[in-house]
Structure 1
Amino acid sequence: MYEGAVQELIDELGRLPGVGPKSAQRIAFHILEADPEDMKRLSDAIRAVKERVKFCSICFNVSEQETCAICRDPRRDETVLCVVEESKDVMAVERTRSFRGRYHVLGGSINPIAGIGPDQLHIRELLNRLSDDRIEEIIIATDPNLEGEATATYLARMLKTIGIKVTRLASGLPVGGDLEYADEVTLGRAFEGRRSLIG
């Protein structure tokens, strides 16, 4: 245990996701030894992101303006809406360069253990967006884990009566993976989502 400011910094860094006690200590000592100007730029960047960044009033993606760049882009396909859990998922889909529609960020996934139900997510806002007659398909792109599956199932049941095509991203074996290392759920999904190679 260190004294004063050093221990406070380690404790705060340890609260970050994916940062354990040893990593927090390593980062804290890196900060102590780093050039003061570099650390000033880091603290300014953290302050700026907290002061300037907000959530898009349409899709809830991160933005420095009232609406995000994707919602402002008139070239995006308004007929397809991809529903994701977090803003980082928008960037993951965008990196594929294979989707040109619009997004809706839920702000998480249903997780009763963590006290997160449908009311804590942007599901009501999603339903409001569906009153737009231009939307023809909703792609549910939640994570392929227990919480993501629960969220996708909830959304699919709720959207069934609306009359809009609802699809789910395919899941299965990763490229370059080995069958022997795949878990049962992943392998089962791969069998369910198989496609014909002939014809």
Structure 2
Amino acid sequence: MSNTDLDHLIEMMAKLPGLGPRSARRAVLHMIKKRALLMTPLSDTLQKVAATARECITCGNIGTTDLCDICESPKRANSEICVVEDVADLWAMERSQMFKGRYHVLGGTLSALDAIGPDELRIPKLVDRVTSEGISEVILALNATIDGQTTAHYIAGELEQRGVKVTSLAQGVPIGGELDYLDDGTISAALKARKVM
């Protein structure tokens, strides 16, 4: 392995969230020292996931089949859908182990500045799911940002005439906070204290 290859690996690692150049160098050095235990299995797993990872055709979660484990589970079909901005938020909600329904990943939030409207997100698909799956409650677990709240109000308006209860997360989620950075207890409290939109 040439120094150029090492430098390239460090550069690639440094592009990961939470890793800068120094952290990437430490991680690469650690993997090289434990090549058989870490580097080779990591390389094999990365190749396998790169070949098989795909978006769930129903909810937008990431899995290795057309339907994710959550959408396939009959235990999760309880007529509740939790709407999140992206997959990281879905995984954060799952870490709390409080929500037992299904999810819907929007793929972002409405943003006039970035020309992102409802059709650029998975909002029409959400409205279709509410109708076709007999959903009784939609929980809006969107980030407490201006765009997140704008998106939540838009969705609540779209679902208003469809006889579905629309709630949002309540206490514990700070204004400007993002779900992926919240601890499990905060997410659990917010989910329990959700309120009607």
TM-score range, shorter chain: 0.7 to 0.9
Give secondary structure in 1 for the equivalent of 2:103. Answer: strand
Structure 2, gaps ≥5 residues long: 175-189
Q: TM-score, normalised by structure 1?
A: 0.73
Work out the number of aligned pairs and report it.
176
User: What residue number does 1:31 align with?
Assistant: 31
Q: Whole-Å Cα distance in 1 between the matches of residues 72 and 53 of structure 2?
A: 16
Matches within 5 A, 1:147-162: 147-162=147-162
Q: Whole-Å Cα distance in 1 between the matches of residues 110 and 23 of structure 2?
A: 30
User: What residue number does 1:124 align with?
Assistant: 124
1:42 maps to 2:51: no
Q: TM-score, normalised by structure 2?
A: 0.74
Alignment deviations for residues 134-153 of structure 1 (CA, whole Å, 9 cap, x no partner): 11111001122344323323
Please give the root-mean-square deviation of Cα atoms over the aligned residues, in Å.
2.9
Q: Whole-Å Cα distance in 2 between the matches of residues 101 and 136 of structure 1?
A: 11
Give secondary structure in 2 for the equivalent of 1:75. Answer: helix
User: What residue number does 2:14 align with?
Assistant: 14
User: What residue number does 2:4 align with?
Assistant: 4
Alignment deviations for residues 118-142 of structure 1 (CA, whole Å, 9 cap, x no partner): 3332222112212226111110011
Asked whether the 8 Å contact 1:78–1:134 carries over to 2, the reply is no
Which stretch of structure 1 is more off in the superposition, 149-158 or 58-67?
A: 149-158
Higher relative contact order (CA 8 A, sep 6+): 2
1:88 maps to 2:88: yes
Structure 1, gaps ≥5 residues long: 175-189, 194-199
Distance 1:95 1:37, change over 3 A: closer
